[in-house]
Amino acid sequence: MGRTISEKILARASGLEEAEAGEIVKARVDVALIPDLTAILSFKAMRETGIDKVWDPERVFLFLDHVAPASSIRAAAIHKEVRRIAQEQGIRNLYDVDAGVCHQVLAEEGHVRPGMVVVGADSHTCTHGALGAFATGLGSTDIGVVLATGKTWLRVPETIRINVEGDFPSMVTPKDLILKIIGELGVEGASYKAVEYSGGTIRRLGVSGRMTICNMTVEMGGKTGIVEPDAETAKYLNERELETLGWIKSDPDAEYERIYSFEVDELEPQVSCPDEVDNVKPIGEVEGTPIDQVFIGSCTNGRIEDLEAAASILRGRRVKRGVRLIVVPASREVYRKALRAGILEALAEAGALICNPSCGPCFGGHIGILADGEVGLATSNRNFKGRQGSPEARVYLASPYVAAASALKGAITDPREVQEA
């Protein structure tokens, strides 16, 4: 019987000829990423194993991204301690407050390649499945064991295959697709499963769009989201002068727990409504809902393509008075590219507040906090109560096109109507 890409990666990482779904394996870790909020706990857990030094400082990546720069004395103290830990452990891969979101930077800087096992003390580590890696989030205690040993116990997940065909209509994006999928499968529809995305639509997507899709796999309970490496992967790696040989792919006769098919030819913009990510509706059902703030950014939609999509709506126009538009590039490299291309200028002239690369308002711990009763629309990945500030606020999730059009009108707006105006 054939094996899936996830089974093959975990088998190789565990020194086994084969590994099948349901089997417990001890997998060698290629990359461990740790953001500021979980770093101190993770290293405390490492020391509690009786080991004081990381197994390989070249494979550990520390990021100061969730609260960047520090917004309180407590946050500053955490940053100071993380910097001290990096020096003590000989970890050269410390990305400080000027770098950006861990998931964007890790891929962008060439630290992830197909076939790797990537773990992180952040649930959206599954983003890196876009490059054909088995990538998953772990708790701080499990990351502590990884720091000590370079390995982690994993139950090999069953795989759900999602085939996607068709061409995206104008102003419909990978964000709309993954919201549609989550709306159909539900928040527990892929619990502890590997979700393998395939089909002609996926193959035509660049790595940026694949990252958006894999990023939100965890919102339906997935252990990882993954796309087989192909020509688009090679293009991304070649730009970073990285090896493109020895890729792992699923066998034609691999066994899947379930297979779903989606068509995008008729897909329209989707909106995730408060207070669950799977509360997804076509934009026509929520159009006209007043909003107070729009956030464009995060590890889901803070890349150059996302900022350009927003700018294409807002060039020569102004954000509606009374609406706050916060734009946060996902990394310094994205910021610089957007600056050189005039994208940031267009957004700023439209009334956007351009912030430094970071997680920004996404997790409700830094800039852009929502007050009681306010309504936010974000291109990020979660809209639970209190996710972006007050538990009495409401958050909608959508694509950068929808976000920009909504900022322009002061209410949730179909971007196709703005384009035609």
Amino acid 282: pLDDT: 98
Q: Answer whether 25's CB lies under 8 Å from 10's CB.
A: yes
In the chain, the domains with their CATH numbers are 5-263 (3.30.499.10), 271-420 (3.30.499.10)
pLDDT digits (tens, 9 = 90+) for 374-399: 999 999 998 988 888 889 999 999 99
What's the per-residue H, E or C state across the chain?
Answer: CECCHHHHHHHHHCCCCCCCCCCEEEEECCEEEEEHHHHHHHHHHHHHCCCCCCCCHHHEEEECCCCCCCCCHHHHHHHHHHHHHHHHHCCCCEECCCCECHHHHHHHCCCCCCCCEEEECCHHHHHHHHHCCEEEECCHHHHHHHHHHCEEEEECCCEEEEEEECCCCCCCCHHHHHHHHHHHHCCCCCCCCEEEEECHHHHHCCHHHHHHHHHHHHHHCCCEEEECCCHHHHHHHHCCCCCCCCCCCCCCCECCCEEEEEECCCCCCEEECCCCCCCEEEHHHCCCCECCEEEEEHHHHCCHHHHHHHHHHHCCCCCCCCCEEEEECCEHHHHHHHHHCCHHHHHHHCCCEECCCCCHHHHCCCCCCECCCCEEEECCCCCCCCCCECCCCEEEECCHHHHHHHHHHCECCCHHHHHHC
Q: Answer whether 196's CB lies under 8 Å from 250's CB.
A: yes
pLDDT digits (tens, 9 = 90+) for 9-31: 999 999 999 999 999 999 999 99
Q: What residue has token string 């803070």?
A: 302
pTM for this entry: 0.95
Taking residues 161-180, report their average pLDDT. Answer: 98
pLDDT digits (tens, 9 = 90+) for 92-151: 999 999 999 999 999 999 999 999 999 999 999 999 999 999 999 999 999 999 999 999
- β-pairing, 117-120 vs 134-137, is parallel
The average confidence (pLDDT) of the chain is 95
Amino acid 243: pLDDT: 76
Taking residues 200-207, report their average pLDDT. Answer: 97
pLDDT category, 421, cuts 50, 70, 90?
A: low
Joined together, the tokens standing for residue 385 give 């109560």
Amino acid 242: pLDDT: 84
Amino acid 125: pLDDT: 97
Amino acid 388: pLDDT: 84
pLDDT digits (tens, 9 = 90+) for 275-320: 999 999 999 999 999 999 999 999 999 999 999 999 999 999 999 9
Decide if pLDDT at 256 tops 70.
Answer: yes
Least confident of 187-191, 256-260, 359-363: 359-363
Cα–Cα distance, 65 to 121 (Å, whole number): 13
pLDDT digits (tens, 9 = 90+) for 41-66: 999 999 999 999 999 999 999 999 99
Q: How many CB atoms lie within 10 A of CB 73?
A: 8
Joined together, the tokens standing for residue 345 give 């200028």
Cα–Cα distance, 106 to 22 (Å, whole number): 30
pLDDT digits (tens, 9 = 90+) for 349-358: 999 999 999 9
Amino acid 386: pLDDT: 82
Cα–Cα distance, 421 to 419 (Å, whole number): 6
Question: Percent of the chain at pLDDT above 90?
Answer: 93
pLDDT category, 418, cuts 50, 70, 90?
A: confident
Amino acid 364: pLDDT: 80
Joined together, the tokens standing for residue 29 give 């870790």
Decide if pLDDT at 228 tops 80.
Answer: yes
Cα–Cα distance, 374 to 158 (Å, whole number): 41
Decide if pLDDT at 164 tops 90.
Answer: yes
Q: What residue has token string 């395939």?
A: 198
pLDDT digits (tens, 9 = 90+) for 57-95: 999 999 999 999 999 999 999 999 999 999 999 999 999
Q: Greater confidence, 408 or 364?
A: 408
Please give the distance of CA 30 from its chain centroid, rounded to a whole number.
19
Joined together, the tokens standing for residue 286 give 């929520």
Q: Which residues contact 253 (CB under 8 A, 6 or more apart)?
A: 1, 2
Q: Greater confidence, 387 or 405?
A: 405
pLDDT category, 246, cuts 50, 70, 90?
A: confident
Cα–Cα distance, 230 to 237 (Å, whole number): 11
